[in-house]
Structure 1
Amino acid sequence: MPTTLPVPIQFELPEGWRAEPPDAAGAPGAAFVARHPRPDAGFTANITIDGEFRPDAATLPEIAHESVERLRQAGTLVEAIGRREIGSADAPGLTQTLAVSALVGGVHRDLVQSQVYLSMLDVADPSKRAVIRLILTATASQHPQVLSDFQDFVRTVRPDTGAVS
């Protein structure tokens, strides 16, 4: 069952990408999934969105490291190949790129994940901090081709101040 985000957001999907129910896409813990129109070697690049309230004082680099450790605990080989803080003090963010070697659908795949972490305050209660995670997963060969779509997508993500809780 898909999760809901701790704070409402709005965004625009890149042209050609299509939303899919998280359960049907094999990402039941995600709040949102979009898939690229053209698979590469039997794997379809995808964008997932999830998030959680973080009442602790964990920094975005610490939260990103937790994601790497969760992948490793799931038996996935992971190497962080890049990490950079983005945004401002009022709207902090972090990007992380991972090389992932995993068994997907019974097939060994070399994948790349581009992860973006956005720290947002709950518009209804600014004392609550939420971290939204946006993830692009693609084959290593297709990643360079879909990365600009993901970057365009990330630029459209913003709090949905008109949403009803």
Structure 2
Amino acid sequence: MPTTLPVPVVFRLPEGWSPADPDKVGAPGVAFAALYPELDDGFRASITIDGEYRPDVASLAEIADESVQRMRELADSVEVVDRAEVGSPDAPGLTQVMRFSAQAGGARRDLVQVQAYLAMLDVNTPNKRAVIRVALTATAAQTDAVIGDFQEFLGTVRPDTGAES
């Protein structure tokens, strides 16, 4: 069953991507999932969004480390190949890229997951912090074809303030 995000967000899917039921595409526990229209050797790239309140003082790097640990419980040969802090003090973020091997679609596959962590602070209560994770998962061979779409998608993710633009 899809979960809800700690703060509402709005975004725009890149052309060709379509929303999918997270449970039906093997992404339980996420609030949103979308699939790329083209298969790569039986695997369809996906974008997922999940998040949680993080009132603790864990840095985004520590939160990203937690994701790596969870991935190691599910996959083999997990390797963080890139990590960078992004954003500003008012809107901090972090990106990381992991390569791993996992059973997916009935076969063992070499996959890449690009994760972006976005911290959203409550302006009225600074210790009320939500962290949203947006992830692209694709085969190693398909990553170059979909990374631009993922970057485009990330550029549209923002808190939903209820104001129309």
TM-score w.r.t. the length of structure 1 is: 0.94
For residues 162 and 61 of structure 2, the distance between their equivalents in structure 1, rounded to whole angstroms, comes to 30
Residue 14, structure 1, aligned to residue 14, structure 2: yes
Residues 47-93 of structure 1, C-alpha deviation per residue, up to 9 Å, x if partnerless? 00000000110000000011000111224321000000000000000
For residues 121 and 58 of structure 1, the distance between their equivalents in structure 2, rounded to whole angstroms, comes to 14
The answer as to whether partners of 2:74 and 2:102 remain within 8 angstroms in 1 is no
1:122 Cα deviation from its structure 2 partner = 4.0
Q: How does 1:71-86 map to 2 (within 5 A)?
A: 71-86=71-86
1:124 Cα deviation from its structure 2 partner = 7.5
Show the counterpart of 2:58: 58
Structure 2 residue identity aligned to 1:45: A
From the superposition, tell whether residues 150 and 38 of structure 1 become closer, same or farther in structure 2 (CA, over 3 Å): same
Query: Unaligned regions of 5+ residues in structure 2, if any?
Result: none
Show the counterpart of 2:23: 23
Query: Unaligned regions of 5+ residues in structure 1, if any?
Result: none
- Percent identity between the two aligned chains: 63
Alignment length (residue pairs)? 163
Show the counterpart of 2:4: 4
The answer as to whether partners of 2:43 and 2:105 remain within 8 angstroms in 1 is no
TM-score w.r.t. the length of structure 2 is: 0.94
1:145 Cα deviation from its structure 2 partner = 0.7
Q: How does 1:32-51 map to 2 (within 5 A)?
A: 32-51=32-51
1:126 Cα deviation from its structure 2 partner = 4.8
Flag as ranges the 4+ runs of structure 1 deviating above 6 A. none
For residues 4 and 124 of structure 1, the distance between their equivalents in structure 2, rounded to whole angstroms, comes to 22
Residues 107-155 of structure 1, C-alpha deviation per residue, up to 9 Å, x if partnerless? 1100011100000024785541000000000000000110000000000
Considering only aligned residues, what root-mean-square deviation do their CA atoms show, in Å?
A: 1.4
Which secondary structure does the structure 2 equivalent of 1:37 belong to?
strand
Which secondary structure does the structure 2 equivalent of 1:156 belong to?
coil
Show the counterpart of 2:156: 156
The worse-fitting range, judged by mean Cα deviation, of 82-91 and 127-136 is 127-136
* Larger strand share, 1 or 2: 2
From the superposition, tell whether residues 122 and 23 of structure 1 become closer, same or farther in structure 2 (CA, over 3 Å): farther
The answer as to whether partners of 1:7 and 1:122 remain within 8 angstroms in 2 is no
